[in-house]
Amino acid sequence: MLPIIDSILSIVGKFLPDQGSRDELKGKLSVEITKQMKMQSDIIRAEQKSSSWITANWRPLFSLLCCTMIGSHWVLYDVFPYIRTALDLNIWLPQDPGLDPELWITIRICLGGYIGSRSAEKIARIIKS
């Protein structure tokens, strides 16, 4: 069973003392989550099969963009100052402006959504078989 269902049942189980009610809820949750994962995987599959290159590749491109943003920020503000000091370079570096917390949240949601949807696609395939 999916861990999310067990987590939900552990909370809801406190309010449903009857084992039959918990089993019924577990079955309904399992069916609903499976439907949701199938819908997500169908959407991703349709995007991947699209004749438009941008439609088929926007998720991987966005993930690459997010990783590039995170990586360049890390290199410029965390790694390069040590290199400058170690090599005794007289190069001006801008102050770390920090990234807007909302941008980090957006990146986390988008990357998590991409990774989660790919995982959901694989889980749906396992459940289906």
Summarised one tens digit per residue, pLDDT across range 38-79 is 887 788 778 778 888 888 888 788 878 878 888 888 888 888
40 and 119 Cβ atoms separated by less than 8 Å: no
**Stated length of the chain:** 129
> What is the residue extent of each domain of the chain?
3-128
Calpha distance 55→63 (Å, rounded): 14
Calpha distance 114→108 (Å, rounded): 10
Pick 16 or 65 by higher pLDDT.
Answer: 65
Mean pLDDT over each residue of the chain, to the nearest integer: 79
pLDDT one-digit tens code per residue, 17-26: 778 877 887 7
What global pTM score does this model have? 0.50
- 32-41, 71-80, 86-95, 119-128: range with lowest mean pLDDT: 119-128
**Axis crossing angle, helix 53-74 with helix 19-48, rounded to the nearest 10:** 100
**Residue located via tokens 């395939």:** 125
Q: What is the pLDDT of residue 129?
A: 66
